[in-house]
Structure 1
């Protein structure tokens, strides 16, 4: 994949981007050395997924209590048998965030399989079973993320998905910063909207998996979804729309947004670790 690697390295060299990437990497390294992670990584990572799922749902307009998300994810509560629309979206965010842990080994080796599994988790109950885990086909469209413009027609998806596969399978040895891979993959899923529904949730769960798999946050404690939410929904959508223009300035804006989001995500991770160490989780 030399062409993809060259293109991704060029993005990392855009003016101002390198410094932002370095700041995000430093924030993640500092998180990794938190005292709570000496013995309690699983507990901290589980709480990160709780907070990440809540933030991902909120970015979809589905706000639910953190305690409810925590109880559902630890098996102490269940969603209603007949969930309302907010609960349906939140359930998908919870399931996809949980699944991000399991697809982590697949994102660089079988990325389409990883996407399919994340979509099944995110969209179960929201689309027909026949639409789960597969890209849109002729006659199917997606009305999500309308601020990014019309979703590409299904006929255009294959080539763009092939490009996404190239991005995800670029070897770490090619010298492409993990943040660039995660940011581009996130944006491509959001802009392409390969599925009828659930694209934003899938994009954020995919980013979480990549950040871990590429060693930027190997503990899985950084709350990547909350990093995006911290800047506000309009800023998040605006940065994605800028990326969607394909312009140098637009791509730079998105990469800068993702770097700032990861710094905030690491900060949220520190809060998780502090709560774990103090025994203050709900």
Structure 2
């Protein structure tokens, strides 16, 4: 589904309305994401963001790659992924994680290029190419939303994740792309500049809820969207618990 707001009109000269602002009025959504953001902020402050190391960032990205691959059907363990012995799906997720932080400035100026590059890194067929004109339109709409919305970053990350996962605009590995895009937003919007939170692990820990809420998002209209956002705030909080900063 496309998260279009209720129809409204603006007078001449009025500011362009934020396409996602209406989502902040859904019951429990603002408080859910605010609580998650507070938890992430506390983790990064109390566990030493200023003392974080490149090795911790690399470990966070590796944990995320393993979790994302598992959600995509990989049977590789974290130790196998760490040793470079993962299956093809795990290898694809690791390639994405390795270059993900380099796409932060790209997301801020050309989101479509960032999405296409994430897909190309998976090694899937037709790299970066939408599967249909409708998919291309959906991606363009998402790109415009990323550039224009002012909603909290956690909400934007959750919505972008669900849209990419359920619209499946690419030939394969759409889930890997969607989860990488969620993490990318958290870095680009300043929630987690060093990428120490592991949102993918949060989704893996809540796998049954993750999969059911994605199905609900795709088919459940406004109620499905609402349920996904409430779920996503919880999953992102679980992702903070999986940070290397916690040991």
Matched, 1:210 2:188: no
1:116 aligns with 2:130: no
Match for residue 185 of structure 1? Answer: 160
1:41 aligned to 53, 57, 73, which one? 53
The offset of 1:2, in angstroms, is: 2.8
Equivalences for 1:1-282 in 2 at 5 Å?
Answer: 2-3=16-17, 5=18, 7-72=19-84, 87-122=87-122, 124=123, 126-127=124-125, 131-136=126-131, 154-170=132-148, 174=150, 176-232=151-207, 234-245=208-219, 247-269=221-243, 272-275=244-247
Q: Is the 8 A contact 1:9 1:177 kept in 2?
A: no
Q: Deviations for 1:72-131, whole angstroms, at most 9, x for unmatched residues?
A: 3xxxxxx5xxxxxx7111111111122221111111211111011111111x1x42xxx1
- Superposed CA deviations along residues 28-78 of structure 1, whole A, max 9, x for unmatched, are 101111334332332211111111011001101102121232233xxxxxx
Distance 1:71 1:169 in 2: 38
CA contact (8 A) 1:62 1:90 kept: yes
RMSD: 1.7
Task: Please identify, of 20-29 and 235-244, the stretch whose mean Cα deviation from structure 2 is larger.
Answer: 235-244
Distance in 2 (alpha carbons) for counterparts of 1:195 and 1:168 = 19
Q: State the distance in 2 between where 1:214 and 1:265 align.
A: 17
Kept after mapping to 1: 8 A contact 2:136/2:169: no
How many residues align? The count is: 233
Length-normalised TM-score, structure 2: 0.88
Distance apart, 1:191 and its partner CA = 1.5
Unpaired runs of 5+ in structure 1?
A: 73-78, 80-85, 137-153, 276-282
Q: Distance in 1 between the 2:83 and 2:233 partners?
A: 31
Long gaps (5+) in structure 2: 1-14
Tell me, what secondary structure is at the counterpart of 1:52? helix
